[in-house]
Each structure stands twice: as structure tokens, then as C-alpha cells.
Structure 1
């Protein structure tokens, strides 16, 4: 079985695959100081609830945008699962995509993994929107290569910044308000967050398509993908496990499968 690890700025996601079938999926808050032993104590208990054991794991793959966490995740794989992980971004790891940008080494591992998975699923030029700590828009060309994109503050990050900067504003949940024009403070804030992000999505997708100059599908991933897909016609597909599927494909490629 394969252990796939996606380390983001907010959460680290662990998934176990038996071939193409997912056997378990768990999240833990990202902590650069969490040790390999601490990860293992937490993970092995959750694996046990699914009837899985450490000896069942025969391979591992890691994509991380948190350099401080990568070392301990690598130690987790080597010390507790007895396998050398495939780490996205290392020179010897073949992705099946090229980053055709000014500084390829600066492209986040998650964005390259999403490119691989999106192209494998749809075989066409695409815009991949990832709703995470940041909201990213990634451009995939007709050959499956990464061509650049856009990075905007994530919705939760924007909301936190607003609440920190304006002391009189209350804490609110992210929700679609009944109207665009709010008639109280909470509805006004919800409208700004929700419809403001719909405007961001539609505006950037329109400008990217115009600049790219060729037809492009739009796929969204991340926790808020389905939430926003219901509010705008520009999001054509959603896939909340896009990054994990990309990791699975990259591991297969590097194992010669």
C-alpha cells in the first residue's frame, strides 16, 4: 500500500491507497515542530480504526510547501514505515509535466501535483483553482505543462485580516447571504466575502482565458470548491482529492508502473 502525504500551510493530509483504491484519509494541523514520532502516534491509531498496520505500507510520496515540516515527514516514512519516500521537487523525481515559467524551482509542489492530476483526468488546457490558505489559479496547457498562474489571499485569511484590522467587526462564518446588499453588519461582511470571491473567480478566469487565447476548462479543488461551484457557472468541475490523485500518479511514474 502507498502512503501519500500532502503538507500544506494549514493542514497535512495523509491518505493510504491500495492500488487506486483509497483506504484512509486523515488531516492534522500543520506544525513545523511536530516530530516523526508524534506523527506516528497519531497516525497509527487512526490506521488501526481502518484495520491497517504499519507493515501494510510499502511506499510513500510527499508533496510539501512547508520546508520545516518536510524533514520530519521524511523521517516518518523512513523510520516508522521503512520506505524511502518520493518527494515532489527533488531533481531525480519525474513528474510528467514541465514548469514553463521564469523560475521553475519556485513553483509550489502542490501546484505541480495538481497540474499532473488535472491533465491526466481531462487531457486539455485548464485553469485549476485551489481554495487553500491562498487561492491559486494555475494554467495548464494542451501538453500538460504548467504555464504560470495567480496567487490571491485565501478566503479565511482575508476574513481574519478584516477582523483583526477592524476591531468593531464581529467574527462571522463564511456563508452565502440572502442578498448582495446587506442590511446588517453580518450580512454586509458575508456579502463582501462570498460575492467578492465569486467576482474574483469570474474576473480572473475571464482574464486568464482572454490572455491564453485558447479554450480552457476550469476545475476547482480544496475545501471551498463545491461551495463556490454552486454560485458561479465558470467552475465546470470539482475534485477535492485532486492533489492526492496527482501524488498517486507521480509515485507510479517513478516506480516505473
Structure 2
């Protein structure tokens, strides 16, 4: 049995990143992520356990899934203030997106998280999660927007849903340049196809912005060729970092 009382950190921020598949709870001590746990995006069932472990002073909630009634009940039990990220929330970059009300919290937070680490650089963020998204922020701190395409599991499931005979396969398994049966053909087509898509997108932006920095985040990992791999900063905390920085920025403004 873990004695959470003996592991408390003082003055820690709670970052709640509610995604399409699950929710991530991250404790930040200043700008440093201390711990991350995953929980249901519908119930936030592990939130009480996590809150008992740290002396949180404040928190921020970013959600692309929405907030269910059960999740809201969990949040209302907290005894420290929460900032709910929305289109009106002040952020430390300039948002040039034409429809800010439709911009996912994760996409905006990713742009903030990357730019705050490397201000003054053109940055492309690749997030390989439920969806495969690309975010571009220029060297002047202007978030310009990005691209959205289906993620890995969505692509695999769509082949089963929209065909008569193709099976739903596991993403784990032999990955070949040319499949020798239906399973390996699907895996090659989907996974290698996503890899080529990402590499092509990076090369396209690099030609337009020669000093481009590239961040890769999300749950799906790809093996890129050496030329592309050397350009990429892998950072699984890029969205939580952005949410944490937005929280700090709002404290500074007030």
C-alpha cells in the first residue's frame, strides 16, 4: 500500500488533459513534469488518488472530449482553483486560427508548449494520437493552424468498417515494405503510409522554413529514416507543458 502522504510535493500544478481516448493527469513542479498517470476521460476515476499524492495549489483543464457529468463531479470536489481552457482564455502566443472556437485545446496547448521552449523559431508539431495532427507556429509566435488526418487506430478500424472482407488487425506484428498476406499488407499500408506522410510533411515545411524545429508527440511511435529522425525532438509532455504554461501566463496577467 502506497503512503501518499510521505510523497507529497509542495506547490505543484495539476494538469488535466482530457483526450478522445483517455485523460492524462500530470503534476508539474514549476516547469518540470513530476508524474503522469492515465485515467478514463469519462469518469476521471483516478483523480482522487492523484490529488491525494500532491499538494496541488491550482490546476488547468483542457479537453477535446468534453466534460461528462461524472468528470465534473470529480473536478468540483477539488479544494483548489481550476482554469478551464477555452477560446477566450489568454495564451502567451498569437492565435491566427480563423475559427478559434473550433480549435482543439490539445492543438493550441501543443503550439504553446513547443514555442515556449524555443521562442523565435519556426516550429512544426506532429501529434500521433487518436488523430494525426500537425501544428505550425512561426518564429514570431503566431500560431497559423495545421492539418488533421486519421490516426493509426482510426485508419485500421476504417478498413474493417468500410469494406466487406478486410479484417481489423493489430498494429503490433511484422512490418514489411511489401506484405505477404492481408494482415501484413494492411499493416504496411497503414503504418508505413503514416510514416511516409509524416516524413513528407516535414520535408515540405523544411523547404519553406529551413531552420524549422520539429516536435513529435502522441502515443504512436514510428521509425523514421535517419535524415528525418535527426530533425525531431520527441516530447510526450508537449501538450501538458503548454497547458502548464497557459496556467502560468494567466497567473501573470492577473
Q: Does the alignment pair 1:120 with 2:93? A: no
More displaced stretch, 117-126 vs 231-240: 231-240
Q: Does the alignment pair 1:204 with 2:198? A: no
Aligned to 1:2: 13
User: Is there any run of 5+ residues in structure 2 with no aligned partner, and where?
Assistant: 1-11
Residue 166 of structure 2 aligns to a residue in which SS?
A: coil
TM-score, normalised via structure 2 length: 0.83
Contact 2:169 2:183 in 1 (8 A): yes
Residue 47 of structure 2 aligns to a residue in which SS?
A: helix
Aligned to 1:64: 63
- Measured in 2, the distance between the counterparts of 1:72 and 1:143 equals 41
Aligned to 1:160: 157
In 2 relative to 1, CA 72–4 (structure 1 residues): closer, same or farther, beyond 3 Å? farther
- Measured in 1, the distance between the counterparts of 2:110 and 2:223 equals 18
1:131-210 mapped onto 2 (5 Å cutoff): 131-175=128-172, 177-210=174-207
In 2 relative to 1, CA 80–60 (structure 1 residues): closer, same or farther, beyond 3 Å? same
- Measured in 2, the distance between the counterparts of 1:25 and 1:131 equals 18
Q: CA deviation at 1:63?
A: 1.0
Aligned to 1:14: 25
Aligned residues: 239
- Measured in 1, the distance between the counterparts of 2:72 and 2:51 equals 18
Q: CA deviation at 1:90?
A: 5.0
Contact 2:87 2:100 in 1 (8 A): no
1:47-86 mapped onto 2 (5 Å cutoff): 52=53, 56-69=55-68, 73=71, 75-77=73-75, 79-86=76-83
TM-score, normalised via structure 1 length: 0.82
Runs of 4+ displaced beyond 6 Å: none
Q: CA deviation at 1:229?
A: 4.6
Q: Does the alignment pair 1:215 with 2:214? A: no
- Measured in 2, the distance between the counterparts of 1:19 and 1:108 equals 25
Aligned to 2:222: 228
User: Is there any run of 5+ residues in structure 1 with no aligned partner, and where?
Assistant: none
Residue 228 of structure 1 aligns to a residue in which SS?
A: coil
- Measured in 1, the distance between the counterparts of 2:182 and 2:138 equals 43
- Measured in 2, the distance between the counterparts of 1:248 and 1:68 equals 19
